[in-house]
Structure 1
Amino acid sequence: MTEFDEDVIVIGSGFGGSVTALRAAEKGYRVRVLEAGRRYEDDDFAKTSWNLRRYLWAPTFGCFGIQRIHRLPHVMILAGAGVGGGSLNYANTLYQPGAEFFRDPQWEGIADWDTELAPHYAEAKRMLGVVEHYPHFGPVERIMQGAAEDLGVGGTFCRAPVGVYFGTPGEHVADPFFEGQGPARTGCTLCGNCMVGCRVGAKNTLVKNYLALAERRGVVVEAMRTVTEVRERPGSGYVVTSERSGAWMGRDRRTTTAAQVVFAAGTWGTQQLLHRMKQSGALSRISDRIGSLTRTNSEALDGAVAVAVPESLGLASGVAITTSFHVDERTHVENVRYGPGSNLMGALATIMVPGDISLARRLGLLIGRMLRAPLRQAKLGSLRRWSERGIIALVMQTADNSLTLSVKKRFGRYVLTSAQGHGAPNPSSLPEAHRAATAIAARMEEEGGVPAEARGSWPEVFGIPLTAHFLGGAVISATPEEGVIDSYHRVWGHPGLFVIDGAAVPANPGVNPSLTITALAERALSYWPRAGEPDTRPGQ
């Protein structure tokens, strides 16, 4: 493999890319990671979500933050950016899915996934420093427990498993996880701003584990490099073209060759690149199933907000997600918080309206409720201290619904678009989410002693759900007629190409998917031979 610049190029540095980088380096491969986002030290993160240049990702406008927002006809997507990918702005929440996920028909017959992934889930938990039960219990946790009891599902209430170093709040210590091989850490101060970027150094981002250890082994991580093309190299291997992210001029276009290329740019980034390469002919043998079985985790983001609550109630104190319960056997509800001052996402919230009526009726109901109590609605909709007055309800399902993504040309560029796919229609709103938010609001009134109300979102009003867990579209399959990659994550028809990120996930897990993506990546890399040794994986 010395004829190539690198043995392995990894596109993206999220959960799949970081695992790939470390495990491939451990097996003797020369690895280069190309990451579109910037590198952040703890002090670089935004203090609140109002610092748009450090919080939002909009490179055309000079914003190189950690929060991506994408829009498709059927869903609005929240994703991550930066060295460490989604771990920079995710909620530290590391649930393992239930048995239904492993029994999905798309991949059930390929392997006994529950059994086969078990040791890799264990390793992922060790590496990500999972604390199995959030150790603090305050007003938000009481509200969630009470809401579960009011809904008759109190027995499903639990504290979330989280990837956070708690230690002594604010105390800086040598690496407590990897026998001193990782970076120093600081005990969590419960500031609530996990999803804006942890300035404390308590959050177990990939920069604190997989990537830190990978770079110690010689892995090169290049930030602010957007991959624009992956093309077959005559004879063998691939040529990867990248350019400076967000550049209007002076794009600094470069090409790098590698024997193997791993797509790990997140579901949006990986799908966009694979679709474009298939359309352009650069990777013409990608399965026609690219874009099928794209999942949203059947997700909705609703919540509850009070007109005002006493500051002493401390709704914004804690890590981002701390508890959950199940409304029914397939619907999982978690509380979500932002820290004091991080009120930007409150602009997405509005009056909750039913999702099973026409847009005209939804708008009519919304306007009618505004006009009946304008002062109350103005107070509820205010962004002032929004993060301290509300609880977001993140609702996920194991339901079998999906979208099919494709590309169309717009102004000379290929852009992603969506259509309803396999299974039931992807939901634009969830009645179960409305029930949960209403129960949370009732308990919030009781806890805070002030009026509270269940809230929906503006995208939901217009029939577009929000998801923070965009998955699939290049899924594991038994044949290229059924999906894009095989059970070893190898792209059908293109030896040396892999998809190792959320795009490979074939079903809705119904819980936060980060731990599952990490476990799948650990499993995929466990089958890689050591550099220079024979490959014992069966041929495609």
Structure 2
Amino acid sequence: MEQHLSRRRLLGLTALSAAALAGGTTIGAPRALAADRADGTAFVPAVVIGTGYGAAVSALRLGEAGVRTVMLEMGQLWNQPGPDGNVFAGMLKPDKRSSWFKNRTEAPLGSFLWLDLANRDIDPYAGVLDRVNFDQMSVYVGRGVGGGSLVNGGMAVAPKRSYFEEVLPRVDSAEMYDRYFPRANSMLRVNHIDNGWFESTEWYKFARVSRDQAQKAGLGTVHVPNVYDFDHMRREAAGEAPRSALAGEVIYGNNHGKQSLDKTYLAAALGTGKVTIETLHQARTIRQQKDGTYLLTVEQRDADGRLLATKEISCRHLFLGAGSLGSTELLLRARETGTLPNLSSEIGAGWGPNGNIMTARANHVWNPTGANQSSIPALGIDDWDNPQNPVFAEIAPMPAGLETWVSLYLAITKNPERGTFAYDAATDRAALRWTRDQNTPAVNAAKSLFDRINRANTTMYRYDLFGKQVKAFSDDFTYHPLGGCVLGRATDDYGRVKGYKNLYVTDGSLIPGSIGVNPFVTITALAERNIERVIRQDVTAP
């Protein structure tokens, strides 16, 4: 099996390189969207919307089953170097490649000494990172072939089994932890940092400082596996490989070292010869035809946002993998405009930010965190078993290239509050109903943890890092949007959308608002479980 996958990955990587050289928007078989029907529409057996984790899993397994599949990706393929010789822009000097149609970048760490030093004015462009701003919550999402895998920190964490069972009680946890989590980790090429190197290198001094301070408060830490190649990172430090993690790259993409989906699942999917990716193609509407097939209206744009064409594509099996925001919006629009009127009232419900809270502490001058910091987190403070305030806190880097004496964290808390998406006809978009007050339980949990650390080390919070306001906790954004099409509520127990046959959700929309750790491994494993059942019963059944 591994030999077949390696060969498929190689074939897929070749297809990705060929697409970049050709300069087009089609990756894979060029006639996948040829007009097949008398009315001029293109027909394919399966369409997958999106190229993130759940979408990539579904496309690979459909391709392996011999099902001709087209993936629709609203972003672009990121493997063509820009004028500076790099595919992605750097974090400290971002340009238009960094952001999705913004006039100015919107980094999560918005200031230093209340000065906005991280952001830059840029030209609107189909960049790799989007910040979708709602009234009282913003959501970071990746744009491009590979979705969020292009812009996340790569922390490949499985949730505590007891919490997984609490969040998804209808899913067999034994099956997940024995079969699908290992499968996901293998396919994602998850690896672990060498402990000896971690303990000795200057690039993780910031993590060791936070670990020691947590231990003084009686808190434990855990090494966190990653999809960034730690062997490559060691060679970066030795001057034997081009720098990426050690050049401060992460939120706008890594030019080297990271095993993003375009190098793993998507490459293998393209290598089946059955999967095609259409980039800069955004699905706008879904309706069901009299024969039960689905008809999609799709807009094709260029990287500057100009509309090039509006297409209609029909398919028998439709998989929504556009993420918590994208998949939910498509279904809400279809329900409220009457193109799929039988969708469940549960569409749009059960959304949450995975309890994300960012905070920072000021260290004593005699306890520096290091001018050189890897951009890839490798350690977390694990206090999830705390019965009052469970928290898993990533020890985050702050790779500014100079000594800051700052310890930065992204805390993941157990916040029971949930938001709801509603369709706004005036804007034709999904609006999020969520208030800042709903993040109070998450802030309180994070504060409980870091108050303990501050007391034990006679340190204090930093109040200058999250914009012009004086605040210690940033509670107005999330990297981990979850829910909107919750498993067992809006769908059946395998992601089949209630009310319609051959319509599926395969992404983080299925998880009801919280999973307690970085969610992409759970999304991947759940997609592996679901697509296995769907292919067996719905797609290839006689």
The TM-score normalised by the length of structure 2 is 0.76
Bigger CA drift: 17-26 or 58-67? 58-67
Q: Are the equivalent residues in 1 in contact too, given 2:358–2:475 (CA < 8 A)?
A: no
Q: Which residue of 1 aligns with 2:425?
A: 409
| 1:111 shift after superposition | 3.7
Matches within 5 A, 1:39-438: 39-41=77-79, 43-58=86-101, 62-104=124-166, 107-108=168-169, 110-133=170-193, 135=195, 136-137=198-199, 138-153=204-219, 156-169=220-233, 190-200=246-256, 202-218=257-273, 219-245=275-301, 249-304=306-361, 314-327=370-383, 329=386, 330-337=390-397, 339-340=399-400, 390-410=406-426, 412-419=427-434, 425-427=438-440, 430-437=443-450
- What SS does structure 2 have at the residue aligned with 1:140? helix
The alignment's C-alpha RMSD in Å is 3.4
Change (3 A) 1:460 1:203: farther
Counterparts in 2 of 1:515-530, with a 5 A limit? 515-529=521-535
Q: 1:165 to 1:493 in 2, by over 3 A?
A: same
Aligned residues of 1:402 and 1:420 also touching (Cα < 8 A): no
Alpha carbons of 1:434 and 1:530: their partners in 2 closer, same or farther (altered >3 Å)? closer
How far off its partner does 1:142 sit? Answer: 1.6
C-alpha spacing 1:166/1:322, structure 2 compared with 1 (3 Å): closer
Provide the C-alpha distance between the structure 2 equivalents of 1:103 and 1:532, rounded to a whole number of angstroms.
27
**C-alpha distance after superposition, 1:226-274 (max 9, x if no partner):** 1111111221211111112477654411111111111101111111111
The 8 Å contact of residues 45 and 315 in structure 2, kept in 1 or not, is answered as yes
1:357 corresponding residue in structure 2: none
Aligned to 1:23: 61
CA distance in 2, matches of 1:507, 1:532: 28
CA-to-aligned-CA distance 1:268-311 (integer Å, 9 cap, x gap): 1111111111111111111101111111111211123579999x
> Any idea what the Cα deviations from partners look like across 1:158-187, whole Å, max 9, x if unmatched?
111111223355869xxxxxxxxxxxx989
Residue by residue over 1:99-144, the C-alpha shift from the partner in whole angstroms, topping out at 9 and shown as x without a partner, is 3333337x41x34234345311001111111124564233112222
Among the aligned pairs, what percent are the same residue?
Answer: 23
Q: Which residue of 2 aligns with 1:457?
A: 466
For 1:261 and 1:22, the matched residues in 2 are separated by 15
Residue 321 of structure 1 and its aligned partner are, at CA, apart by 1.2
CA distance, structure 1, for counterparts of residue 214 and residue 443 of structure 2: 17
Deviation at 1:146, TM superposition (A): 1.6
Asked if 2 retains the 8 angstrom alpha-carbon contact of 1:102 and 1:114, the reply is no
Q: How many residues align?
A: 462
User: Which one is further off, 329-338 or 42-51?
Assistant: 42-51
- Read off the aligned partner of 1:318 and give its amino acid letter: S
User: How much has 1:191 moved relative to structure 2?
Assistant: 3.2
How far off is 1:196 after superposition?
2.4
The alignment partner of 1:277 has SS state of: helix
Counterpart AA for 1:390: V
Q: Provide the secondary structure at the position in 1 that maps to 2:247.
A: coil
The amino acid across from 1:253 in the alignment is T
SS in 2 for 1:472: coil
* Structure 2 Cα separation of the partners of residues 124 and 139 of structure 1: 30
CA distance in 2, matches of 1:420, 1:210: 36
Give 1:517 shift: 0.3
Alignment correspondent of 2:32? none
Compared CA separation, residues 504 and 460, structure 1 to 2 (3 A): farther
Q: CA deviation at 1:57?
A: 1.3
Output the amino acid matched with 2:476: P
Distance change >3 Å, CA 50–CA 429, structure 1 → 2: farther
Contact 2:164 2:173 (8 Å CA) reproduced: yes
- Residue 248 and residue 85 in structure 1: after superposition, are their counterparts in 2 closer, same or farther (change >3 A)? closer
Give how far 1:67 is off: 1.4
Tell me how far 1:389 sits from its aligned partner: 5.3
TM-score, normalised to structure 1, is 0.76
The question of whether the paired residues in 1 share the 8 Å contact of 2:507 and 2:523 is answered with: yes
**Given that residues 245 and 376 in structure 2 are in contact (C-alpha distance below 8 angstroms), is that contact kept between their aligned partners in structure 1?**
no
Question: Is it true that 1:37 corresponds to 2:75 in the alignment?
Answer: yes
Residue 147 (structure 1) shift = 2.4
Distance 1:71 1:316 in 2: 32
**2:413/2:442 contact within 8 Å kept:** no
Looking at structure 2, the residues matched to 161 and 36 of structure 1 have their Cα atoms a distance apart, in angstroms, of 30
Is this contact kept in 1: 2:228–2:376, CA < 8 A? Answer: no
